[in-house]
Amino acid sequence: MAFTSCTDTFTLRNAVGIPCIGYGTFETPADTARKAVREALEVGYRHIDTAAVYGNQQGVGEGIRDSAIPRASIFLTSKLWNTERGYDATMAAFDKTLNELGTDYLDLYLIHWPANRKQYGDRAEELNAETWRAFEELYSSGRVKAIGVSNFLPHHLQALESTATVKPMVDQIEVHPGWPQAEAVAYCQAHGIQVEAWGPFGHKDVLNDPTLVAIGKKHGKSSAQVCVRWALQHNVLPLPKSVHADRMKANMNVFDFELNDTEIAAIDALQGIGGSCANPDEVDF
Ligand SMILES: NC(=O)c1ccc[n+]([C@@H]2O[C@H](COP(=O)([O-])OP(=O)(O)OC[C@H]3O[C@@H](n4cnc5c(N)ncnc54)[C@H](OP(=O)(O)O)[C@@H]3O)[C@@H](O)[C@H]2O)c1
């Protein structure tokens, strides 16, 4: 990893560059999102992650426009919510997302969660394929620069890839110390899929872990900065969220230190220290 700033990019399989740290907006209320996103762009983020279900796309779009940063310099991701699966519903949901964000294209659009067998039985794979057909069309039309999935495990990816014309470029999954998802990360990395880490702080649960705090102390860094750096050193793209400008800044200030192999191994070995650790095959939303 040779990154020196959060605007340095990973390269997706279609040659699109994606800034190596994204700014998360989950649970950022609609009325806070405008200011938070403007501040995130002002402190230097150029990659914003939202989703239809967060209910804040309008504020995210306003924050982008309030900043002095041209739209073309910002990498903007949104996600299709679970109630909108299938070809027609996906097309309509995408239009609504663009409308709420006030933009005419997305940089990345993701299926937020796979349809699973628990909810959809034998129809699950077919439904994911049908949703993906709409994603492929949106991609071919140029209205979205890259397409991908979220919370897909290797078996969901294998099923999708068996019928896809365009292979997913990204899988956004929960990854943080204590929940490294090594198998899913290895699968994606072997198949040209960029992994993004949602909940890089385990939704802040992992930040008091003594191992992370001690490793941070050795480098003059916080446990949060250790989490971000650990993801990057695994070639995983972290999406830290904070509504506080000082934390936004600190969370991207990770390019002046390096975790050594012993530290990486100690963090890799952590278990059960927080986060949701949800199994996408078991969720019922
Ligand atoms: N695809 C999916 O299914 C999915 C699911 C969840 C999240 N996501 C994406 O991933 C992003 C990140 O995940 P997340 O928001 O769940 O959790 P996270 O980034 O792991 O943690 C955010 C929490 O940590 C706190 N925090 C941030 N920086 C801190 C620091 N330096 N020191 C102490 N506390 C700090 C934040 O509080 P303050 O805001 O008060 O600072 C917030 O409570 C989301 O925002 C969203 O964009 C995707």
Here the tokens at position 201 are 């702080």
Q: Are 168 and 136 in contact (CB under 8 A)?
A: no
Residue 18 CA, ligand 1 centroid: distance in Å: 19
Is any ligand 1 atom within 6 A of the Cβ of residue 199?
A: yes
pLDDT tens digit string along 162-208? Answer: 999 999 999 999 999 999 999 999 999 999 999 999 999 999 999 99
- Quick one: which of 169, 109, 170, 113 has its CA closest to 141? 109
pLDDT tens digit string along 233-244? Answer: 999 999 999 999
Is any ligand 1 atom within 6 A of the Cβ of residue 54?
A: no
Tell whether the model's pLDDT for residue 1 goes beyond 80: no
Would you place residue 258 in the very low, low, confident or very high pLDDT band (cuts 50, 70, 90)? very high
With helix as H, strand as E and coil as C, how does 99-149 read? HHHCCCCECEEEECCCCCHHHHHHHHHHHHHHHHHHHHHHHHCCCECCEEE
Residues annotated as binding site? 112
Residue 231 CA, ligand 1 centroid: distance in Å: 14
Tell whether the model's pLDDT for residue 113 goes beyond 80: yes
pLDDT tens digit string along 13-54? Answer: 999 999 999 999 999 999 999 999 999 999 999 999 999 999
Could you give the domains of the chain? 9-205+235-242 (3.20.20.100)
Which pLDDT score is estimated for 165?
Answer: 98
Tell whether the model's pLDDT for residue 2 goes beyond 90: no
Q: Is 54 considered catalytic here? A: yes
Atom of ligand 1 nearest to the CA of 172: 1
